[in-house]
Amino acid sequence: MDKSSKIYVAGHRGMVGSAILRHLQKEGFNNCVYATSSELDLRNSQAVSYFFETEKPEYVFLAAAKVGGIHANNTYPADFLYENLMIEANIIHAAYVHKVKKLLFLGSSCIYPKLAAQPIREDSLLSGYLEPTNEAYAIAKIAGIKLCQAYYKQYGCRFISAMPTNMYGYGDNYHPENSHVLPALLRRFHEAKEQGKSEVQIWGSGTPLREFMFSDDLAEACFFLMQQYEDPQLINVGTGEEVSILELARLIKDTTGFEGKITFDSTKPDGTPRKLMDSSRLHSLGFNHKTSLHEGLKKTYADFLNKENVYTAIR
């Protein structure tokens, strides 16, 4: 890419897409195009095709997706499977038809088998059963990876796929039922402090291990890969560091200033027992994350507090 390249960021209002757009602008790439969901329904193939024909983007960051936590994935599997299949298929095919120079598809670490060997290598894909609680979303993302590889193989399209670990950061989703674990806990601890509660209850046992990456670090990684990576083989994007859910809860407790105790709801599912990605291929290319979990939580909580109008709207 050069500074005058026309770049389409699909999902520019989401946490990851907005971080990518900010990073592009920071690097001096100001010829970016995007559209809100009300302006462009990515599930509509004709609308997507018309957008590509009209705007003629040269590069595409495909960060648009229907996302949610365990509860949302369990409750709306048809929506997660259908909408994500349509979004990625429409954009990837339109990128081929309209001769996009390069496309980066963003998947998710949930594509890997529930009991994959840890840390999870890229070649673990399709080597075992998926975690049932987010199977629909995972299957859609796997289809997106395979679609990029198929267009690469059949037509020589420079379509690559990156698999981010668990993300958090500016503009995260704090919905009480449909959010991921980190923002869900951050909101819960904040509300408990505001309401003077004596305890915060977290789902499951607190023992599962998770890896978290600040969204601005992922954006920088995506920019790096678009410039440097050409292999159709998917590539993991993570920190290489993990923390238990209990340790995460303690960090969030300290970040929010909550002074009560932490308890557990053992009737709720833990999900995958451990999920750490092997990001050695990315690191060997020369990219490493910059933001520690402690620092990232402080930035995220400050952003949460600064968006009181958004917070109030989802109470």
Q: pLDDT value at position 314?
A: 42
Mean pLDDT across 199-216: 94
Could you tell me the two tokens for 219? 């954006």
Q: For residues 218 and 222, what is the distance between their CA atoms, to the nearest angstrom?
A: 6
Residues annotated as binding site for NADP(+)?
11-17, 106-109, 141, 180
Residue 173, judged by CB atoms within 10 A of its CB (0-12, 13-18, 19+), counts as middle
Q: Which parts are annotated binding residues?
A: 11-17, 106-109, 141, 180, 188, 203, 210, 270
Q: Summarize pLDDT for 3-57 with one digit per residue, the tens.
A: 999 999 999 999 999 999 999 999 999 999 999 999 999 999 999 999 999 999 9
Binding residues for substrate: 188, 203, 210, 270
Q: pLDDT value at position 73? A: 85
pLDDT top residue among 132 and 98: 98
Measure the CA–CA gap between 35 and 60, rounded to whole angstroms: 13
Please tell me which residue in 34, 137, 170, 174 is annotated as part of the active site. Answer: 137
Q: Map residue 258 onto helix, strand or coil.
A: coil
Residue 308, pLDDT score: 56
User: The tokens of 86 are what?
Assistant: 């349509």
The separation between the first and the last C-alpha atoms of the chain, rounded to the nearest angstrom, is 42
Q: Are strands 209-210 and 243-244 parallel, antiparallel or unpaired?
A: antiparallel
311 catalytic residue (yes or no) = no
Is pLDDT above 50 for 290?
A: yes
User: Mean pLDDT highest for which of 39-53, 59-73, 261-275?
Assistant: 39-53
Domains of the chain: 7-313 (3.40.50.720)
**Which of 95-104, 135-144, 206-215, 299-308 has the lowest average pLDDT?**
299-308
In angstroms, rounded to a whole number, what is the distance separating the alpha carbons of residues 135 and 77?
A: 8
pLDDT tens-digit map of 166-188:
999 999 988 877 678 899 899 99
Q: How far apart are CA 261 and CA 52, in angstroms?
A: 53
- Token duo for residue 160: 């690559």
Residue 315, pLDDT > 80, answer no
Model confidence at 313, in pLDDT bands (50, 70, 90)?
very low
H-only helix segments in the chain: 15-26, 45-55, 70-75, 77-97, 135-155, 181-194, 215-228, 245-256, 280-284, 293-306, 308-313
Amino acid 48: pLDDT? 98
- Asked whether the predicted pLDDT for residue 74 surpasses 90, the reply is no
Instruction: State the average pLDDT for the chain.
Output: 93
Give the span between the Cα atoms of 254 and 185, in whole angstroms. Answer: 12
Predicted pLDDT at 309: 44
pTM of structure: 0.92
| Residues whose CB falls within 8 Å of the CB of residue 305, separated by 6 or more in sequence, listed in order | none
pLDDT of residue 274: 84
Neighbours of 190 (CB within 10 A): 21
User: What is the per-residue pLDDT across 141-174, written as a single tens digit (0 to 9) for each?
Assistant: 999 999 999 999 999 999 999 999 999 999 998 8
Percent of the chain scoring above 90 in pLDDT: 84
Q: What is the pLDDT of residue 262?
A: 97
